[in-house]
Amino acid sequence: MDQFEKELSSYVGIKSATALSSGTAAIHLGLKALGVGKGDIVFCQSLTFSASCNPIVYEGATPVFIDSEYETWNMDPKALEKAFEKYTPKAVVVVHLYGTPAKMDEIIEICHKHHVPILEDAAESLGATYHKKQTGTFGDYGVYSFNGNKIITTSGGGMLVSNNEEGIQKAHFWATQSREKERFYEHKEIGYNYRLSNICAGIGRGQLKVLDERIAEKKAIYERYQNAFQDIKEIKMQPYLADSVPNFWLSAMILDQTCSYSPLQIIESLEASQIESRHIWKPMHLQPFYHSSDFITLCESSSVAEDIFKRGLCLPSDTKMTIEDQNRVILKIRNLFT
């Protein structure tokens, strides 16, 4: 277990890490380490998977959702700035969607100005870099997931990382049922069974060795799609910043406003050939559970997150897919447009 934590810390370049049973558990304990509790406000990117924000609610805090921008699909620094005019949050949860780094310079500057810590949800972006620095190492705490669908997997698992060694030790303590150092079982605080098993940690060590290879394969998949669709003006792949290198975990595309197909029509058309593609994450502010949560967007009448959700889709991106398999996906989509 310790070796997995050390090896991952050294890979991403951070002081300490604690291996946990899931990325969700890591977000939960990261928020607790930041002191998030009852009655607090926490800002969170709306365009994400529900695990980015559910732990805010576990702690009795209230999420306020922030809109995205079109250059990375992640938290819009301008919408974040606007949110600070209305609220004083306890923390900000930033996500690197589908492995594409967010605009961290701007986000960090705003959060520093307001003295508010960042929890970086890098569950999808292990190995992605921004200004040559690993995602997950910019925030006060960073989170990775080793869920079955992620770029490397332990079947289920996660990691909380930080340069704050004390904070990581505290998270480790909570994750092991908050058991005090006594001969008998003594608990002064609520605890959790969130530790990763040794077997899973062993798998994780093996997986870390193939991470760079996986990233190269995922990049090749993204670039094959990009090249194959470059003459179709209705299709654009998820963009990324010039000074960032995504891990290309999922290849996602967006359809032009003028496109006569909806993502659902493309998903169904692929499905007819036994090809699985998916919608973009449905933004959190549109989820029935979060219907009463506030959502901060630059323009009251439109939302970038909603627009990306309505026009985007995730393409098959598994590294087990052969070039022939991918060509079949490409041909099927090209036939719709040409």
Ligand X SMILES: Cc1ncc(COP(=O)(O)O)c(C=O)c1O
Which spans of this chain sit near ligand X (rule: CB under 6 A)? 22-24, 48-49, 51-52, 95, 121, 123-124, 145, 147, 158
Residues facing 91 on adjacent strands: 42
Q: Are 62 and 38 in contact (CB under 8 A)?
A: no
Return the C-alpha torsion angle 215, 127, 8, 190, nearest 10.
-120
Which residue's CB atom is positioned nearest to ligand X? 23
Task: Pick between residue 158 and residue 167 the one whose CB is nearest to ligand X.
Answer: 158
Q: Are 187 and 177 in contact (CB under 8 A)?
A: yes
Alpha helix ranges (H) inside the chain = 2-12, 23-33, 54-58, 77-86, 104-113, 165-175, 198-209, 211-229, 263-271, 304-311, 323-337
To ligand X, the closest distance from the beta carbon of 153 in angstroms equals: 9
Task: Pick between residue 81 and residue 124 the one whose CB is nearest to ligand X.
Answer: 124
Task: Pick between residue 224 and residue 278 the one whose CB is nearest to ligand X.
Answer: 278
To ligand X, the closest distance from the beta carbon of 43 in angstroms equals: 15
Q: What is the DSSP letter of 52?
A: G
To ligand X, the closest distance from the beta carbon of 49 in angstroms equals: 4
Task: Pick between residue 51 and residue 329 the one whose CB is nearest to ligand X.
Answer: 51
Task: Pick between residue 61 and residue 333 the one whose CB is nearest to ligand X.
Answer: 61
To ligand X, the closest distance from the beta carbon of 143 in angstroms equals: 7
To ligand X, the closest distance from the beta carbon of 330 in angstroms equals: 25
Q: Which backbone phi and psi does 54 adopt, to 5 degrees? A: -55, -40
